[in-house]
Amino acid sequence: MAPTSTSKPKAITWDEYADIVEAQWQLVLNDPACSERKIQSFLEDHPCLLPGYDAFNNAVRREGLPPGPIFEAAFSQPRLLPGTRSYVPDFMWLPTDSQKQWVVLIEIENPLKPWFRQDGQQTQYFTQAIGQIYDWMGQIDQPGNAAKFAERYHISRPVVVKYCLIYGRRAEVMKNTRGTIRNLAIRDDALKIMSFDRLHPTEAARDALCIKLVRHKFVAVSAPATLRLQSNLPQMWRGVNQKEEAVARSPHFSDERRAYLIERIRYWDQQVRDGKFRLVPNRE
């Protein structure tokens, strides 16, 4: 039985949430002990910071709305192909439109790694990061691998892959008098490179989960405190397990809002399993 309107605690507003996340993000980035592992964990908790929700604006908008990724979720450390040697990026979005399935693969490096040497040439760290992505491009382009990837992630549309490397800090580039971003060895339009300072909360991704593929099952890692149970989400999430656990451990929910969402998710999952789910405006 659905709760009455007086028992529906509201989500935190987007502006409140964005301010909190932005402030905490700056603390993480400016921590002298910052590490790739800490960055990974923070971005898992707040996938709205990740670029590529809209395939960098190339995905066609539907009815004036941003194209929703598969499962309305960012994937954390997804294994793209079967086998132990498969490319495993740090994150992935799968934005959809009426014609294509966009795949945005995101690689992060330690923010403390430098862009340039003293002579203005790019560092070996940057060269290695770029080289790794080009190796992965070649792997995905091998005959048959695109079909294996599509099968693994339940994709039926033609696939277009884009890559994103998040590397270093803007301050180093700004103060460097010999090297600039234009001097870096970047040879592919499918690759976007940005500093960690470019990452800011994106409201279009306010309802996006973070999920992982674990033993052939999609498992929720986190849920955002701004999450609204919109009419299509229960169906989009029907293949995602442990959503209640993700809400239970994710930050910035009030106790009342957390309990409400867990109850609603359980109810709608059962409705979907029983074939009784119906699309209606504003399920909250």
| Domains of the chain by residue range | 12-232
How much is the pLDDT for 272?
A: 83
Write the DSSP assignment of 215-277 as a string of letters. TTEEEEEE--TT----TTHHHHTTTEE-HHHHHHH-TT--HHHHHHHHHHHHHHHHHHHTT--
How much is the pLDDT for 282?
A: 58
Give the Cα-Cα-Cα angle 163, 68, 213 (nearest 5 degrees): 65
How much is the pLDDT for 240?
A: 95
pTM over 0.85: yes
Q: Which one, of 62, 26, 61, 65, lies nearest residue 42 by Cα?
A: 26
Residues whose CB is less than 8 angstroms from the CB of residue 141 and which lie 6 or more positions away in sequence, other chains included: none
How much is the pLDDT for 201?
A: 97
Measure the CA–CA gap between 235 and 157, rounded to whole angstroms.
Answer: 19
Rounded to the nearest angstrom, the gap between the alpha carbon of residue 87 and the centroid of all alpha carbons in its chain is: 17
Q: Which CATH number fits domain 12-232: 1.10.287, 1.20.120, 3.40.91, 2.60.40?
A: 3.40.91
How much is the pLDDT for 80?
A: 86
| Phi, psi of 165, rounded to the nearest 5 degrees | -110, 125
Ranges of the chain with pLDDT below 70? 1-7, 58-68, 84-86, 176-188, 231, 277-284
What the block records as the tokens of 227 is 């999450």
How much is the pLDDT for 40?
A: 97
Measure the CA–CA gap between 220 and 72, rounded to whole angstroms.
Answer: 11
Would you give the end-to-end CA distance of the chain in angstroms?
Answer: 13
pLDDT tens-digit series, residues 192-210: 999 999 999 999 999 999 9
